[in-house]
A and B are shown apart, each in its own frame.
Chain A
Amino acid sequence: MDFPKELKYTKDHEWVRIDGDVAWVGITDFAQSELGDIVFVEIDTEGEELDIEEVFGSVEAVKTVSDLFMPVSGEILELNSKIEESPELVNTDPYGEGWMIKIKLSDTSELDSLLSADAYKEVIGA
């Protein structure tokens, strides 16, 4: 299982790719593997301003459904429209084409609370 070093992680199994005051968010390789085949991702919070740990959407797999949580506070600038048509991208390429939202950070100090790849691996016992 792959956990790129350049990303930050949360205990809720999201990853964050930070670029200045903008961040891309998705779910980890571990999360997609635990969920199994993902059949759709529902996010209807585009344009909204959400706080850290608020629910921004949900991901439905064949066997189960799971909430998606904001890793940091911010405004949701964009959704990945590709995963609407092809939700399986979250399974096959969780850190690339399977990204979920792009957000504008409202408090960059929150980034300190995110986990490194090594710290996340410890959380999941990898």
Chain B
Amino acid sequence: MKKTALTGVHEELGARMVPFAGYYMPLQYEGVTAEHHTVRNGVGVFDVSHMGEFVVSGEQAEAFLQKVTSNDVSKLTDGKVQYSCLPNEDGGIVDDLLVYRLSGTEYMLVVNASNISKDWDWLQQHNSFGVTLKDRSDEISLLAVQGPKATEALQSLTNIDLSSMKYYTFEKGTFAGVEDVIVSATGYTGSGGFEIYFENKHAEKVWKAVFEAGAPQDIKPIGLGARDTLRMEKGFCLYGNDIDDTTSPIEAGLGWITKFSKDFINKDELLAQKERGTDKRLVGFEMIDRGIPRQSYTIQNEKGETIGRVTSGTQSPTLGKAIGMGYINPDLAKPGSIIYIEVRNKSLKAEVVTLPFVK
């Protein structure tokens, strides 16, 4: 089991630690619900150093990324970030990722921890562009400082003007006395905030500085449990749950990051899917009957016929209702459709709703 540079800190704080994607990670500190509300209403800090970072460099870096990712990399300028995915050749997704343009010839890719080696092999295999790939995952720590009070909590630590940063941009600067830190206005919570990348050796110092600077905002540590409920309320896909090697970006509602104006792996099949429609579609639903949908539960129509499966589900702390996502055939995918979730041998009523659950 791998550790992050902050594992000892989490243990000292009394976090419940669990294995996740091969890493020993904090699931919760004071409790998922309280941590969830901290991020929605205040500010919280996640250690997400398990995430992978690859650096792609060379004259052909953009051409290479155009080929392997679904979004249009040519839209990026220095300091901009893009959400994208790596389509495979069979209509599925190798991984979803963030693409950072460091310069015209250098990019950073941020990938899921569970997919680091799979992505690495995939990128190597498709590198007919002569670009240099570097896996920096084991050297880089990542803190996500998220919530409406993130800017005021962190501003005293850096020369970067945080309040002027637009969503999905980043800057390199000094942060907590450490040089060359990447501060990125991104996150997986839908509550605003920053993701901060720096070398492992600075991890404890940066963590401590963030908690000192954020003390007036009552900043708190947040575990992976709340990370999951926060992202689900916003309808963000989680690789391994809502998207995987067998689901296409079109089915997953990721058409907005699939740009057919350029050539990329499996473009023709995905374009055909977009034009003729798909057999299944990822939807969000809210439970009407009392019960909580969970991954792999069966979704049925009124007649009790199986029409799909739940990919993610939880009790939404913000809404106080049970919510879920899953793939179903398109005729019942319209908001307002009634579907049934098979929860522990009972068929419970649910309604398809528009994502995100929490606006």
Contacts and interface: CB of A to CB of B under 8 A. Distances in A.
Interface residues of A, number: 10
B294 A36 contact: no
A37 B30 CA distance: 10
Nearest to B320: A39
Contact of A65 (B31, B33, B292): B292
Interface string B91-134: 00000000000000000000000000000000000000000000
A63 B31 CA distance: 11
B229 interface: yes
A39 B291 CA distance: 10
B344 A37 contact: no
A40 interface: yes
B245 to A, nearest CB: 25
Interface in A48-76: 58, 60, 62-63, 65
Contacts of A63: 27, 32, 225, 228, 314
A42 interface: yes
A37 B290 contact: no
30 contacts: A36-B28, A36-B32, A36-B225, A37-B31, A37-B32, A37-B33, A39-B292, A39-B315, A39-B322, A40-B290, A40-B292, A40-B315, A42-B290, A58-B344, A60-B291, A60-B292, A60-B315, A62-B32, A62-B225, A62-B229, A62-B314, A62-B315, A62-B317, A63-B27, A63-B32, A63-B228, A63-B314, A65-B292, A65-B294, A65-B344
Interface of B: 27-28, 31-33, 225, 228-229, 290-292, 294, 314-315, 317, 322, 344
